[in-house]
Structure 1
Amino acid sequence: MIDGLVGGRLYGEAQIRTGQNGKRFVTCKVRATTNDGDTIFVNVIAFDDEVQGALLALGDADSVALSGALTPKVWTDKNGLIKPAVDMVAYRVLVGYRGEG
């Protein structure tokens, strides 16, 4: 496990899901830019209620910073190019503003 901090913009909307055990979790994608200008996608899953609420309050392209456990991965795009990606179990979230409620 790698503890890390990722900052970027939400790609699409966060989604509520329910596991086989009936427990709710939230998933989303964050588009982060590397130092050399490339884009990397972070596949985020959140089990903590506070983190879930913060992610669900965000919209497409909103800025977000997350800390959590990272797992590096690779995937192949439709042109056959191998691209890096990261999976994250988010433990904490930092957003630029706080919604009501």
Structure 2
Amino acid sequence: MIRALVSGTLHGDPQARTSQNGKPFTTGKLKADASENGIVWVSLIGFQETGERLATLKAGQAISISGRAKLTAWLNKQGEAQAGLDVMIEELATLRPRPQA
């Protein structure tokens, strides 16, 4: 199991959903800046309290999350290899935005 701690900004508003068996959960996308390596896209899923908290946040909010992670890879529309991360959130903290230079 991979445990990850990732900070970044929410890309789009998180979406509250309900599973087929009636369990609520929330999904979202986190944009993490990997400096010289570009951007890493992190797919988020939160259940129970973390899901409820994630659902209250809006696009552009700076957050830090930790949880169980799985690496993903795919080809974009141009055929270039892309990498990402799927994280089941266990802890979530909101962050203050960076001051603009």
TM-score w.r.t. the length of structure 2 is 0.88
Partner of residue 18, structure 2 = 18
Among all aligned residue pairs of Structure 1 and Structure 2, give the percentage whose two residues are the same amino acid: 30
Given that 2:40 and 2:83 are in contact with CA atoms closer than 8 Å, whether structure 1 keeps it comes out as yes
TM-score w.r.t. the length of structure 1 is 0.88
Residues 54-83 of structure 1: CA deviation (Å, up to 9, x unaligned): 212211111000000010111211111110
The one-letter code of the counterpart of 1:29 is: K
Partner of residue 30, structure 1 = 30
Partner of residue 61, structure 1 = 60
In the comparison of the two structures, how many residue pairs are matched?
96
Secondary structure of 2:13 counterpart: strand
Using the TM superposition, give the Cα deviation of residue 53 of structure 1 relative to its aligned residue in structure 2, in angstroms: 2.6
Partner of residue 95, structure 1 = 94
Residues 20-63 of structure 1: CA deviation (Å, up to 9, x unaligned): 111000000000011425001000011132x1232122111110
Using the TM superposition, give the Cα deviation of residue 15 of structure 1 relative to its aligned residue in structure 2, in angstroms: 0.3
Gaps of 5+ in 1: none
| Equivalent-residue separation in structure 2 for 1:69 and 1:48 (angstroms) | 15
Given that 2:44 and 2:89 are in contact with CA atoms closer than 8 Å, whether structure 1 keeps it comes out as yes
Gaps of 5+ in 2: 97-101
Using the TM superposition, give the Cα deviation of residue 13 of structure 1 relative to its aligned residue in structure 2, in angstroms: 0.6
Given that 2:25 and 2:52 are in contact with CA atoms closer than 8 Å, whether structure 1 keeps it comes out as no
